[in-house]
Amino acid sequence: MVKQKFPVPVITEHLQVPRVQPDAMAETKPFVAKAEFQEALGFPGELVDNWQSVALDKMSELLGKYRALPVFLDACVKCGACTDKCHYYLGTGDPKNMPVARQDLMRNVYRRYFTFAGRYFPKLVGAQDLTESVLEDWYRYYHQCSECRRCSVYCPFGIDTAEITMAGREILASVGLGQKYANEIIGKVHKIGNNLGLPEPALADTLTGLEEEVEEDIGIQVRFPLDEAGADVLLVTPSADFFAEPHVDGLIGYAKVFHQAGIRWTLSSYASEAANFGIFIGNYDQMQKVAERIRQAALDLGVRRIVIGECGHAWRVAYSYWNTLIGPFDFLDTNYPAPQHVCELTYDLIQRGALTLDPSANDEKIVTFHDSCNVSRGSRMGSMPGGQFTLPREIIQSVCNQFVDMAPETTHEQTFCCGGGGGLLTDDLLELRVKGALPRVTALKQVVDNHGVTHMAAICAICKSQFSKVLPTYGFDMDMIVSVHQLVGDALVFNSAH
Amino acid sequence: MLTAIFAIGLYLAVLVLVVGTAFRLVHYVRIPVPLVIPTTPAPITRTGVVARLFREVVFFESLFKGSKWTWLFGWIFHFAMLIALLEHLRYISEPVWWWIVAIQWIGLYAGIAMCLGLVGLAVRRIVVDRIRYISAPSDHLMLLLLVGIAASGVGMKVLWHTDIVALKAFVIGLIRFDWQPLPADPVLLIHLSLVIVLMLIFPFSKLLHAPGVFFSPTRNMVDTPRERRHVSGWGERTSRRKVMSQEPKSRG
């Protein structure tokens, strides 16, 4: 087990709402992006001298570009419904991790410079000058939000702190305070095509290795095609699927599904990444630029369908934003939604009886499902609202005999973030990640204790990486976290005479 | 003199309320919503969105999920206020509409319920450490202002009766620009003064939450981004430019 420099929260039987502990997480902030990575994305390399006026100009610009921003900043009545909803507040007790207080870091500045009341009666309405310490708070606390939108479910006005956080990060980047982890990754996508900086030869090698591994395992040649023009399906998946555990077992699962369904598919070395960290830093242009690679790859390879692998925010970007950013998808097969989630594809195949499944292959597992935040609250699957909850569950129940849901206030639209989403999956934020996982881990422990759950399935690369890392700090086995398509792959029955 | 002060005060307050709020809403409407961001699961039809907003405005659906106590006090306060406002329509309708006559008896209870709801909210604001932390002076004062309005209204119903016939003549006079004297009862003057303050601050304060909820993209957007390409404002321009510039490379 990893030795921690900070106390790991104790799991209680039921989740406790902590008392307010001011500045509990004031020491926590991610590394600032170095000049070369900032400049590569068109941001200033370091904090500019006139940062205050640059920040306010940027804020003014964003207020005129995104309607949500002024509406959200004006409408909050401080009712407090969100105050006990954020996993980072629940895990840390730092009041600035309460969604409304996180918003207030910006709202108070907005009031000071952009509203009548704040200009003339700042004390009365809590308006605040944009001082250096406010800017530091922005950097800290806009990087202690995973943009999971849980707060927005409970807000009577639908205020989504994620939108405020995105604006905050956008302003920070524009004055020279970008975040190292996210901005370096975006740079790698522009340069190489994926978050990991895995070049084409290495990717090809990895895929060949996987083909051998699967053949050894099940005695069947399952292909992992790369850059095959004329394939029907372009699969775009988070690059963690190429080698990280347990992600890679999910990739093997997709390949087996394609194989058994007889679908010609391919990966692309040019667009070898589903993740789009442009959403995390709140930058429309970066998000669009990252997404464009995928449209380009689809056109170049002449595919008829685009399918997205298991990745939460990637699915939100693909489902909700792609049509706007890089659409229309009139060059694709109109019989299928564009883009399509791999769970939608697998679900349809199961419905049509196109897959031979033996759920007893997973009989040693009692499985629960972790709803990923961006899938749950920022997207849909299938034709009905809520399909993002039912499809993955029905898939799991088709391939596993033993399935148990976690407590209802921690699943579906009320799901808790894994603690590592929104561009925070970096070791310089490990304390935050561990503490932020507390609500999810508490719910997990309940089903482990009461129902003997052995595995938690997820459809998000960040969730999988995060849980692999933090579950052991709470005394769970890191192998508890599995891909949904690993369960599918293991249950698929192949005719060995094939 | 008194009549003139309140007449001008009320004209001004209504003007600020209507024009100020209208300006704000027009401002919102002119700002694009570049991306599809409903909090999902979300309706996939416009009718569904209307139903979602209806549930939000009438039942405070999201708040109910979020905090039962705040919901209870908040809902009681808002709906008691709605009834009290409707009851007050008797001052501007002539002859008084039958359904306004029919609800007159509830007015007193609505006023009391308003006070109870507001006190509940105020107690939460002070007692719950999280809500205390996020409260600015204006948040406490807003509750005080509303309690003042409700309590003075209830006071006139039960203790310090005012001449409502003369009051109605004053209000109708305002509407017809034919001023009639305002009864000089202190409680009435307090009541009216507080109402004037409330209307004046409406467009410049968190009271904008009332119209704001209808403009909230997380609540008013249809969840059909794949079925219908969403483009708006500057998002449309950048999307077109970039998509078109890359088209020829691959398909020729």
Which residues in A284-311 are b (16+ Cβ under 10 Å) and which e? Answer: bebbbbbbbbbbbbbbbbebbbbbbbbb
Distance in angstroms (rounded) separating the CA atoms of residues A26 and B51:
42
> In terms of CA atoms, which chain A residue is nearest residue B131?
A80
Amino acid at B174: L
Share of chain B above pLDDT 90, in %: 89
pLDDT at A5: 80
Options 2.60.40, 3.40.720, 1.10.3470, 1.10.1060; CATH for A35-178 is 1.10.1060
Q: What is the pLDDT of residues A275-310, one digit of tens each?
A: 999 999 999 999 999 999 999 999 999 999 999 999
Cα A241 to Cα A59, A238, A308: the distances in Å are 37, 6, 12
| Chain B touched by A190 (CB under 8 Å) | no
Q: Which of A473, A494, A481 is nearest to A10 (CA)?
A: A473
Q: What is the pLDDT of residues A354-409, one digit of tens each?
A: 999 999 999 999 999 999 999 999 999 999 999 999 999 999 999 999 999 999 99
DSSP-based three-state secondary structure for A436: helix
In DSSP terms, which residues pair with A481 in a beta bridge? A456
User: What average pLDDT does the segment A51-80 reach?
Assistant: 97
pLDDT at B236: 64
Cα B248 to Cα A286, B75, B242: the distances in Å are 22, 57, 12
Q: Is-contact B100 B90, C-beta < 8 A? A: yes
pLDDT at B1: 86
| Pairs of CB atoms within 8 A across A/B | 238
| Chain B touched by A158 (CB under 8 Å) | yes
Q: How far is B68 from chain A (nearest CA, A)?
A: 9
Which of B60, B133, B226 has the CB atom closest to A95's CB atom? Answer: B133
Cα A492–chain centre separation:
28
Give me chain A's average pLDDT, please: 96
CB atoms within 10 A of CB A83: 27
Which range (A47-56, A343-352, A488-497) has the least confidence? A488-497
| Chain B touched by A160 (CB under 8 Å) | yes
Residues in chain A closer than 8 A to B205 (CB atoms): 117, 125
Distance in angstroms (rounded) separating the CA atoms of residues B201 and B208:
10
Task: Kindly state the helix (H) or strand (E) to which residue A458 belongs, with its residue range.
Answer: strand A455-458
In DSSP terms, which residues pair with B196 in a beta bridge? none
> Is pLDDT of A424 > 80?
yes
List strands edge to edge, sheet with A340-341. Answer: A265-266, A233-236, A305-308, A340-341
Share of chain A above pLDDT 70, in %: 99
DSSP one-letter code for B159: T
Q: Which of A85, A72, A84 is nearest to A417 (CA)?
A: A85
Q: How far is B181 from chain A (nearest CA, A)?
A: 34
Q: Residue B232: which pLDDT band, with cuts at 50, 70 and 90?
A: confident
Q: Map A176-233 to HEC letters.
A: CCCEHHHHHHHHHHHHCCCCCCCCHHHHHHHHHHHHHHHHHHHCCCCCCCECCCCCCE
Q: Residue B32: which pLDDT band, with cuts at 50, 70 and 90?
A: very high
Distance in angstroms (rounded) separating the CA atoms of residues A118 and A168:
19
By CB neighbour count within 10 A (0-12 exposed, 13-18 middle, 19+ buried), where does A49 fall? exposed
Query: Hey, are the CB atoms on B215 and A159 less than 8 Å from each other?
Result: no
End-to-end CA distance of chain A: 44
Q: How far is B9 from chain A (nearest CA, A)?
A: 20
Query: Hey, are the CB atoms on B225 and A324 less than 8 Å from each other?
Result: yes
Query: Hey, are the CB atoms on A296 and B249 less than 8 Å from each other?
Result: yes
| Chain B touched by A415 (CB under 8 Å) | no
Distance in angstroms (rounded) separating the CA atoms of residues A239 and A237:
6
∠ at Cα A300 (A299, A301), nearest 5°? 95
Q: Which two three-digit tokens encode residue B50?
A: 């209307």
Q: Determine phi and psi for B187, rounding to 5 degrees.
A: -65, -40
- Residue A339, preceding bond cis, omega within 30 degrees? yes
Residues in chain B closer than 8 A to A61 (CB atoms): none
Distance in angstroms (rounded) separating the CA atoms of residues A430 and A444:
20
pLDDT at B245: 44
Q: What is the pLDDT of residues A161-177, one digit of tens each?
A: 999 999 999 999 999 99
Q: Residue B169: which pLDDT band, with cuts at 50, 70 and 90?
A: very high
Angle between helices A247-261 and A200-218 (to 10 degrees): 70
| Chain A touched by B241 (CB under 8 Å) | no
Q: Determine phi and psi for A162, rounding to 5 degrees.
A: -55, -40
Q: Which of A462, A233, A217 is nearest to A348 (CA)?
A: A233
pLDDT at B46: 97
User: What average pLDDT does the segment A483-487 reach?
Assistant: 98
Q: Determine phi and psi for A403, rounding to 5 degrees.
A: -130, 135
Query: Hey, are the CB atoms on B130 and A83 less than 8 Å from each other?
Result: yes
Q: Residue A1: which pLDDT band, with cuts at 50, 70 and 90?
A: very low
Q: Determine phi and psi for B39, rounding to 5 degrees.
A: -75, 120
Distance in angstroms (rounded) separating the CA atoms of residues A126 and A148:
27
Q: Is-contact A217 A255, C-beta < 8 A? A: no
Distance in angstroms (rounded) separating the CA atoms of residues A100 and A87:
14
> Is pLDDT of A62 > 70?
yes
Q: What is the pLDDT of residues A226-237, one digit of tens each?
A: 999 999 999 999
Contacts of B86 (CB under 8 A, 6+ apart): B100, B103
User: Within the 34-53 window of chain B, which residues sit less than 8 Å (CB to CB) from chain A?
Assistant: 34-37, 39-44, 48
How many CA within 13 A on the CB side of residue B186?
2
Distance in angstroms (rounded) separating the CA atoms of residues A202 and A192:
12
DSSP one-letter code for A416: P
Distance in angstroms (rounded) separating the CA atoms of residues A477 and B119:
50
CB atoms within 10 A of CB B17: 18
Query: Hey, are the CB atoms on A78 and B206 less than 8 Å from each other?
Result: yes
Which of B139, B205, B217 has the CB atom closest to A68's CB atom? Answer: B217
Q: Where are the domains positioned within chain A?
A: 35-178, 187-404+453-491
Q: Between these two residues, B226 and B251, which has the higher pLDDT value?
A: B226
pLDDT at A197: 86
Distance in angstroms (rounded) separating the CA atoms of residues A239 and A194:
6
Q: How far is A20 from chain B (nearest CA, A)?
A: 6
Pairing state between β A305-308 and A233-236: parallel
As its CATH architecture, domain B2-251 has Up-down Bundle (1.20)
> In terms of CA atoms, which chain A residue is nearest residue B29?
A67
CB atoms within 10 A of CB A235: 26
Q: Is-contact B9 B170, C-beta < 8 A? A: no
Q: How far is A206 from chain B (nearest CA, A)?
A: 28
Query: Hey, are the CB atoms on B130 and A123 less than 8 Å from each other?
Result: no
Which residue has 């881990």 as its token pair? A441
Residues in chain A closer than 8 A to B242 (CB atoms): 288, 292, 326
pLDDT at A368: 98
pLDDT at B237: 56
Angle between helices A68-75 and B21-30 (to 10 degrees): 150
> Is pLDDT of B79 > 80?
yes
Is the CA virtual torsion A162, A119, A79, B192 positive or negative? negative
Q: Determine phi and psi for A238, rounding to 5 degrees.
A: -60, 140
Interface test with B, best of A71, A104, A123, A379 (most B CBs within 10 A): A71
User: What average pLDDT does the segment A130-139 reach?
Assistant: 98
Q: Residue A31: left if φ>0, alpha if ψ -120 to 50, beta else—which one?
A: beta
Distance in angstroms (rounded) separating the CA atoms of residues A22 and A95:
6
> Is pLDDT of B241 > 70?
no
> Is pLDDT of B246 > 80?
no
User: What average pLDDT does the segment A207-228 reach?
Assistant: 96
Q: How far is B10 from chain A (nearest CA, A)?
A: 21
Task: Kindly state the helix (H) or strand (E) to which residue B211 belongs, with its residue range.
Answer: helix B209-212
Which of A67, A95, A323 has the CB atom closest to B33's CB atom? Answer: A67
Contacts of A373 (CB under 8 A, 6+ apart): A146, A148, A149, A150, A312, A415, A416, A417, A418, A421
| Chain B touched by A115 (CB under 8 Å) | yes
CB atoms within 10 A of CB A119: 13
Query: Hey, are the CB atoms on B31 and A163 less than 8 Å from each other?
Result: no
Q: Residue B250: which pLDDT band, with cuts at 50, 70 and 90?
A: very low
Q: Residue A480: which pLDDT band, with cuts at 50, 70 and 90?
A: very high
Q: What is the pLDDT of residues A9-28, one digit of tens each?
A: 999 999 999 999 999 999 99
| Chain B touched by A125 (CB under 8 Å) | yes
Q: What is the pLDDT of residues B170-198, one digit of tens each?
A: 999 999 999 999 999 999 999 999 999 99
Which of A65, A82, A327 has the CB atom closest to B34's CB atom? Answer: A65
DSSP one-letter code for A478: G
Q: Residue B239: which pLDDT band, with cuts at 50, 70 and 90?
A: low
Residues in chain A: 498
pLDDT at B238: 59
Distance in angstroms (rounded) separating the CA atoms of residues A459 and A75:
34
Share of chain A above pLDDT 90, in %: 96
Query: Hey, are the CB atoms on B217 and A71 less than 8 Å from each other?
Result: yes
Residues in chain B closer than 8 A to A97 (CB atoms): none
End-to-end CA distance of chain B: 81
Q: How far is A219 from chain B (nearest CA, A)?
A: 39
Residues in chain B closer than 8 A to A319 (CB atoms): 225-226
Distance in angstroms (rounded) separating the CA atoms of residues A69 and A312:
24
